[in-house]
Structure 1
Amino acid sequence: MIYRFFVFLILITLYQTTAYAQRGPGGEGFSRMPAIGRVYGKVVEAGSKQPVEYATITLMSGTKDSVITGALAKANGDFSIDKLPMGRYKLRVQFIGYKTLYQPIIITPNNVEQDIGNIKIEADTKALNEVTINAEKQTVNMGIDKRVYSPDKDLSARGGTALDVMKNIPGVTVDGDGNVALRNSSPTIFIDGRPSTLTLEQIPSDQIDRIEVVTNPSAKYDANATGGILNIFLKKNTKPGYNGMITAGYGTNNRYNLMASLNIKEGKTNFFISYNLNSAQNPTKGYTNRTNLTNEIPTGSFKQDNSSVSGRMMQNGRIGFDYSITNRSTITLSQAVMGGDMTNVDDQTYIQTGAGNTVLFKGDRVNNQTTKWRNYTSQIQFRQAYPKKGKEWTTDLTYNRSERENDATFTTNNYDRTSTYLSTDKQLNAGDGNSNMLTYQFDFTLPLTDTSKIEFGVKANYKEDKTILNVKNNGLFDSILSNNYNITDRVNAAYITYSSMVWGIGYQGGVRFEQTRFTGELIGKNLTFEYYYPDGTKNLAKAFFPSLYLSKKLGGNQEFQLNFSRKINRPDFMQMMPFIMFSDKQNYRIGNPNLSPEFINIAEINYNKIYTNGSILSSVYLRQTERAITNYVYQLPSDSSILVSTFINGNNSLAYGWENNVKRTFANKKLDITLNGTIFYTTISASANNMQLQNSGISWNAKAIASYKFPKQYTFQANGSYEAPRIIPQGTTKDVYSIDLSLNKEVIKTVSMTLTLNDVFNTRRFGTFYESETFTQDLSRRRETRFLRLNITWRFGEMDTSLFRKRKPNRESLGGGMEGDF
């Protein structure tokens, strides 16, 4: 059935895009432009501010008195005139007994819909000033508390996932496990401004419209966003008519992807639907080399080589619609369904030696793991705007459900020192679980003057997670490794901020209150643990999180910013659950139920300068963490050959750094270069097992993106990155570096092809080096290997049209200028 739907969709769009362009009546100065403009507002009596029913609204040519179209105000004073071509107009408002009012209107591709507010008609009304908006999307757009990055021009990420986009964002790094870090800290991930159970690898890059990067979130945002916020906004077009895109790609390592999307805006309704499929395999290799020490003298070693093949198959679909109840009231309903299968086969060979490099035993192990997941996201949103610019309130309810199955087989063959076979151990893991998360949020923005406003809101988030893991070793149930646990996490919050300006300095001050309760229970083992803030009145102060932002605009397109905030980082259930999780035969992982939240104080100084051909953004930041949650590795007391990884609360942590972003264009805007560099210092200290841990050091990372537009619609892009070794509590990470190359060809106005070679020199490896009094360990692994991928994209649509009424000839097709929507 789904194939018939896509065949029908393609036939419809092929038929529509063969139409000839329509020359609309148009305003002055714009010819052969689509009729997609809209002007709306409300007519009120100036004295009583009551609506003026049946006032006559006439739209005339900008330089002549010829009438283009018109409308009558409704009983509540609302009016709306749509299907307007680009151009200059005069809006005339008339009613018996009132002075006629004229207002200039300009409709441009960047300002299609205009809310002209409440029009007050009286004897001495003055015409409102003409306002023209011409905005070009920038790679970096700096606001008082966030930066906006647009991935549209990132050729290397096409056909990939959100992780491919993240690795190219300045200041963001991605490690070998797909974990994202912003300035060496873990950020909070939002999708369309709300929490989600999706991972970055489950989000197709072609569906991303923009990513907001908030390095130091204000009181408006969650207090647990200690590592900043990465807010991913998915594409949704709102221009009249219909439009869509189909992308297909194929690459080495069984890599293929398909994406199709369609938007239809008809009258008060905007409908959107999309589907994505992404599949890949990654053959990788890694190793672990460990040396045991006694009084700094080697007493044995453990060496292991890994050869893995991981695969993924992911699909997701999204459907929804917006309905404009009035000109300023909109309700949105959306539903997303996502699912996938992930597999990993890891072949390991290992050897354990004793003093004098004497072989003690050998072995090989095959880990065969399969994960299946399904995600469902339902959301209802309501937005109410007002005639006063900037005044609005929004409310929404989001429900996320996640279901997962995890099955694994670990087969270990044991050999003695002479390679004589001894035995085979087989461990079977059968796990499944589900989580439910309900989020409600209300936000209100109230402008007081042109330079001041109040924002306030509330948020409630409830999440429950249930997981069952049954383990059998050689056919016998293992009660130690088997677990059945429930997690309940509740966070209720309220915030208020005030923004204004004094002596030319913009400021925003605010405070957030959050009530937290986290409960974990191991079913059948009589183990429970929890933490909650505030606990009565004794730690009430720890539930308040203030923020302060200052900004000063200088001459020459310059701006300074200074900001402060306080955050909380709550340990998650994987960090707290006291059960053993295996990485391999010689490496275990276990949670710490005694972990407590860490508190972080963050400060930043930012400088932004915009030039004619580029910009520079420089930031100095400081992070001071109390009771820092720290990873700690130790040898198992009963078997020194096994390393156990867990988490502890350290004494404190201090980090500060300097980040710079530079963007320049050369050669008549044919060459774009974006550079990013960050240098930072970190110090960590902690106490564990009667040992004092302390480490400090300087590290840095750099990124560069160069794009050049050649003749005949060719564009070449090169991406390069380098991450220097950085400290961890018991050692350092290894450096990571790579280069990606991409070539794009606009075949015709609606079809483009992109060829990407990822990790050209196959150098993107991740590793760590641990060092303590009792052991050293050198570990290396990869997330993916070099691959080549080709993507073909077809954009279709017609802006001034309807799919649901009789077709008129000579409509404006996509070739008339709609390709910029995607």
Structure 2
Amino acid sequence: MRKLLLLLALFASVFQLYAQTGTVTGTVKSLSDNSALPAASVVLTKTATATKTGVPTDLEGRFIFERVTPGSYTVEVNYIGFKKYTRSFEMTGATINLGTLSLEDESTAIKEVQVIGRAPLGEQKGDTSQFNAKAFKTAPDASAEDLVTKMPGVTITNGTIQAQGEDVRQIMIDGKRYTGQDVNAAVRNLSADMIESVQVFDGQSDQAAFSGFEDGNRLKTLNFTTKKEARQGYMGKVSAGYGTDDRYMVGAALNIFNNNQRITVTGLTNNINMFDFSVGETPGGGMRGRRGGWGGGSPNGIINTNTFGINYQDTWGKKMEVSGNYNYSNRDIVNNQYRFRDFVNSDTTYTENSINRSTDESHRLNFRLQYNINANNRLLVTPSITVQRNDGLTERDANTIGNGTIALNSLNSNRFDNASLNFNNNILYSHRFGSSGRILTASLNTSYNDSDGDSYQRENTDNIGRPERNVLRNQYTSTDRTNMAWSGNLNYSQKLGEKSRWQVEYNINNQENDSDRRANDIEEDNTLVPNPQLSNTFTSNYLAQNFGPSYQYRTEKVRFQANARYQYATLESENTYPTTFPLKRNFTNFLPSAEYEFKFSESTNLNINYRAATNVPSVEQLQDVLDISNPLQPSIGNSRLDQDYDNRLRVRFRKFNAETNRVFFIGVFGNMTQNYIANSIYTAGSVPADLPADYQLQSGARLSRPVNMDGYWNVRSFFHFGQPLNVISSNIGINGSVGYSRIPGMINEVVNYANNINYGIGANISSNISEKIDFTVSTNSSYTVVENTLSTNQNNNFFSQNTNLRYNWILWKGLVYRTELQHQYNSGLSAGVDNSYLLWNMSIGKKVFKNQQGEISLSVNDLLKQNVSVQRNVTESYVEDVQSTVLQRFFMLTFSYNIRKFNGGAAPTMNNNRPGNWGGGRN
């Protein structure tokens, strides 16, 4: 009885403690214009214990602290470009609304103070790297892309913007997400002189942001904070050019800003391999030097592009935020390729010359609506739709060579016409149970995909050693595929105290696939005769359910989260033509995940993340149908494939010294996959028994089929060190990487592992001298070692080095000289493939009109006529080199005009030396 009374007393005291806690709320706004300040850092400190708790403000500038115990407190607010705000108050247990906390613009605070010296680069705030745009000098017409690539750890690799070794997958402007799939286009459509600061961080998914629990779906994000004077007005650029060989380019881009409302309109027509046009476009088209859109560098082929796009962002009323994006694109592509493939465990090689002509047309529409119903309820709806059409002709002349002589020669042409429709919609709802700390989140995702295609194939294959096995084929194939999928998610979370909370989550996912492929032989009188051996009708249904708890612990320095999921899944598939074959499998898996983050200080941070997941095979991999579109490299699916099990580990360490402006980052990224979907390769005489009865694999040809195998590894590390180089007023960065991959495969039922080790080192120097001289020099070297366990005599090592120079110089009275040099050196590639080249682009221009808003320029693309495209691909069964057609030398005369008006006529300028306040940003 005594113990019971003590227990009741303890329970009563705990209950009383919780009953005495309260909630602290408020709103952060600008003092000058009363606008909300999203993503401001709000820190609550208890005076007696110095315990700190931090939260960011939402898009309306609001913040909330729950379960605050009685006592004396100080609230501190930091935001880039504003003075730090502090306020003390007493917490008595009731709910306290601090009202509007108005921050003073720092320009007002220091306008009479002369600041001499280098502007600070920025600082590290937890997992957020913040950079001061004023610390990086760019040319007057530079884009945000030109600005961010001067910042430590931000590079362009293969045409894609990377930050801290990872691809940037999300752009935000003043804390609001940019809707659209093209990250590069978004960055190019912001002018560098509009930007106050740039934040680099791992953005949460919508699900994690609503629920408060990490789901492992982090996106590397750039957030651009614009200057206050650039938030009202418009800016843009129009350009038109004509050159030798009938090369032409006409493009326009216009941005309209009215605080929360932003509209961007772009249009482009050209035949110089440009995929988009932006306000940061350099006159002459070819002068960008990285026209990439399909893998970076100079894109393969000669491409005519017509495109139009519009992006819209606004706030409807006080509760609704909307954004949308529409893009139309039409591209005509001509690309000739030479391919050399050296097979593992064989004296056979494969060569191919192909001519590819195609037309791609697409309509893409994305929309995002967030409705903040009230302080406790939020709704997010994100539909998207894509309509595409692709038609063209591929002509291929291929040979397999054994012991130095041709074994097979195949002339093959394939005319195709494909169309597809993709629709996806996600509905996410979140409810907060007042100030209790309980949150309920529910989501529903639906998707529909329909694709159909027609293909006409002619094949003439000569078997040199066995003429009786020559093939002459004329065939028509139709393919119709439909995919319907939906998934639902429900989770509930509850606070356990001031520092921890728990969550329970349930998820269900269903995917239904229906694929019908019908092959028909075309007779001499053009009649169609069904070919069941190359036809297949296939359905599959995948249903997976996940359930499990999560735990989260958070203090000022430590953040830890652990999740445990139990998954039960079924995969049912059935062939219904030409034969009936049903198959059903069940899977049970334990899917753990965990994340640990430790803040050594505000500028030093360590993050460790682990996550396990499963992936279901695609319908193309599951469908047991023979594909002979390339007769010498046929393939067939495998209906017995299982889902794979993937383990991913990510470790990152960041340090930023604000006093010396030194930045250091190192990361290790790895994944290991069980039941990895690998390729099993068969040669003549070793083919699987379930191939069509009348099909014979030609001598020298190689058939591939997907199979499940263990032993896949992929680990890579990346580091970056950067600091100012005061000798020449520039910033220097040094980076390096080490990577290892182990790809399992089979050749004639014998296991082979392709081990690939890559070592990389690089350096870059970007100018910070003045707006009149802007240069960037970079070089990156890579050495790769390829080892095969099945055939060590075919191991291969190769070296590549890429060196770039970009230089802009305002010579005199608006006379501008620009040049770009890109040198590529390759060693160890196949004979007959061009190893090295020097791409040199150059232009000379003259600024004209009032405020130098116009420019007339003469440019040359590939002055030395050396441009080539060479790519090496390494797989578990072969190493190949591919050389493609590229755009070579042409001259172009271009006229460009800049449109710019801000805040009643004043345009933002890079000549403002006012340093920013680096106390704010994300926690």
- Rounded to whole Å, the distance in 2 between the matches of 1:712 and 1:546 is 52
Deviations 1:487-544 (CA, angstroms, capped at 9, x unpaired): 222222234322225896543222122222222222222123343222xxxxxxxx22
**1-side partners of 2:215 and 2:99: how far apart?**
45
TM-score by length of 2: 0.58
Residue number among 685, 693, 701 corresponding to 1:642 in the alignment: 701
Q: Which stretch has the larger CA shift, 516-525 or 574-583?
A: 574-583
Matches within 5 A, 1:16-415: 34-37=33-36, 143=127, 153-154=144-145, 166=160, 168=162, 171=165, 205-206=184-185, 241-249=260-268, 250=270, 251-252=272-273, 253-268=303-318, 269-280=320-331, 281=333, 283-289=335-341, 303-351=351-399, 357=405, 362-384=409-431, 392-413=439-460
Confirm or deny: 8 A CA contact 2:445 2:488 kept in the other structure.
yes
Mark the CA change 1:603 to 1:474 in structure 2 (over 3 Å): closer, same or farther: same
Query: Structure 1 residues 307 and 688, CA, compared in 2 at 3 Å: closer, same or farther?
Result: closer
Report the AA paired with residue 312 of structure 2: L
- Choose 163-172 or 639-648, whichever is displaced more: 163-172
Match of 1:693 in 2: 752
Equivalent AA in structure 2 for residue 691 of structure 1: V
Encode CA deviations 1:9-55: one digit per residue, 9 max, x unaligned: xxxxxxxxxxxxxxxxxx9996xx5453389xxxxxxxxxxxxxxxx
Please state whether the residue corresponding to 2:36 is helix, strand or coil: strand
Could you tell me whether the CA contact under 8 Å between 2:339 and 2:883 is conserved in 1? Answer: no
Of residues 483, 486, 495, the one that matches 1:438 is: 486
**What is the SS of the residue equivalent to 1:640?**
coil
Secondary structure, counterpart of 1:206 in structure 2: helix
1:746-796 per-position Cα deviation (integer Å, ceiling 9, x unaligned): 999999999998999755533346798xxxx65333688468999999999
Alignment RMSD (CA, Å): 6.1
How far apart are residue 401 of structure 1 and its match? 1.7
Structure 2 residue 561 is matched with structure 1 residue 508: yes
1:541-560 mapped onto 2 (5 Å cutoff):
543-555=589-601, 557-560=603-606
Counting matched residue pairs gives: 671
Kept in 1: contact 2:407–2:700 (CA 8 A): no
Alignment of 1:382-531 (within 5 A): 382-384=429-431, 392-413=439-460, 425-444=473-492, 446-475=494-523, 476-500=529-553, 505-524=558-577, 525-531=579-585
Q: 1:699 to 1:290 in 2, by over 3 A?
A: closer
Rounded to whole Å, the distance in 1 between the matches of 2:448 and 2:383 is 12
CA–CA separation in structure 2 for the residues paired with 1:163 and 1:401? 33
Q: What letter is aligned with 2:580?
A: N
CA contact under 8 A between 1:343 and 1:371: conserved in structure 2? yes
Q: Which letter maps to 2:455?
A: A
Contact kept, 8 Å, 1:393 with 1:443, in 2: the verdict is: yes
**Per-residue Cα deviation, 1:333-375 (whole angstroms, up to 9, x for no partner):** 3432222223453322234567673x56644222233332222
Contact 1:626 1:651 in 2 (8 A): yes
The answer to whether structure 1 residue 780 and structure 2 residue 881 are counterparts is yes
The structure-2 alpha-carbon separation of the partners of 1:131 and 1:519, relative to structure 1 and needing over 3 Å to count, comes to farther
Match of 2:185, SS state, is helix
**Contact preservation (8 Å) 1:651, 1:686:** no
Separation (CA, whole Å) in 2 of partners of 1:339 and 1:758: 36
- Structure 1 residue 591 displacement after superposition: 2.2
What is the DSSP-based 3-state SS (H/G/I as helix, E as strand, rest coil) of the residue aligned with 1:698?
strand
Structure 2 residue 872 is the aligned partner of structure 1 residue 767: yes
Q: Is the 8 A contact 1:619 1:660 kept in 2?
A: yes
Distance 1:622 1:276, change over 3 A: closer
Moved more, 652-661 or 401-410: 652-661
Matches of residues 595-610 of structure 1 in structure 2 within 5 Å? Answer: 595-610=641-656
Query: How big is the shift at 1:586?
Result: 0.4
How far does the alpha carbon of each residue in 1:658-684 deviate from its partner, in whole angstroms, 9 at most, with x for none?
A: 332445455699856665533133446
Asked if the contact 2:408–2:699 (Cα under 8 Å) also holds between the matched residues in 1, the reply is no
Name the CA shift for 1:472/1:515 in 2 (closer, same or farther; >3 Å).
same
For residues 578 and 519 of structure 1, the distance between their equivalents in structure 2, rounded to whole angstroms, comes to 14
CA contact (8 A) 1:168 1:719 kept: no
Matches of 2:123 and 2:705, distance apart in 1? 40
CA distance in 2, matches of 1:331, 1:792: 44
| Conservation of the 8 A alpha-carbon contact between 1:279 and 1:314 | yes
Determine if contact 2:683/2:748 at 8 Å carries over to the other structure.
no
Question: What letter is aligned with 2:321?
Answer: N
Which sits farther off after the overlay, 409-418 or 202-211?
Answer: 202-211
SS at match of 1:36: coil
- Percent identity, please: 12
Where in structure 2 are there 5+ consecutive unaligned residues?
1-27, 39-57, 63-71, 107-119, 134-142, 150-155, 173-178, 191-198, 226-230, 232-256, 274-302, 524-528, 686-695, 811-815, 817-846, 910-915, 917-923
Q: Tell me the amino acid that sits aligned with residue 740 of structure 2.
A: Y
Instruction: Check whether the contact 2:407–2:464 (CA below 8 A) recurs between aligned residues.
Output: yes
- Partners of 1:704 and 1:721 within 8 A in 2: yes
**C-alpha distance in 2 between matches for 1:438 and 1:692:** 37
> What do residues 42-81 of structure 1 show as CA deviations (whole Å, max 9, x unaligned)?
xxxxxxxxxxxxxxxxxxxxxxxxxxxxxxxxxxxxxx99
Structure 1: stretches of 5+ with no match in the other structure: 1-26, 40-79, 85-100, 174-181, 183-188, 193-199, 535-542, 799-810
Deviation, 1:552, is 2.9
Q: In structure 1, what residue type is equivalent to 2:266? A: T
Q: Structure 1 length normalisation: TM-score?
A: 0.64
- Deviation at 1:643? 0.2
Task: Say yes or no: does 1:532 pair with 2:586.
Answer: yes
Relative distance call for 1:424 and 1:211 in structure 2 (3 A) is farther
CA distance in 2, matches of 1:632, 1:214: 39
Deviations 1:671-726, CA, capped at 9 Å, x for gaps: 56665533133446677755343454522356777655674588666776666355
Shift of 1:653: 4.1
**1:630-664, CA deviations, whole angstroms, 9 ceiling, x for partnerless residues?**
22322132533210112233343455443324454
CA contact (8 A) 1:282 1:783 kept: no
| Distance change in 2, residues 1:414/1:526 (3 Å) | closer
Amino acid at match of 1:781: V
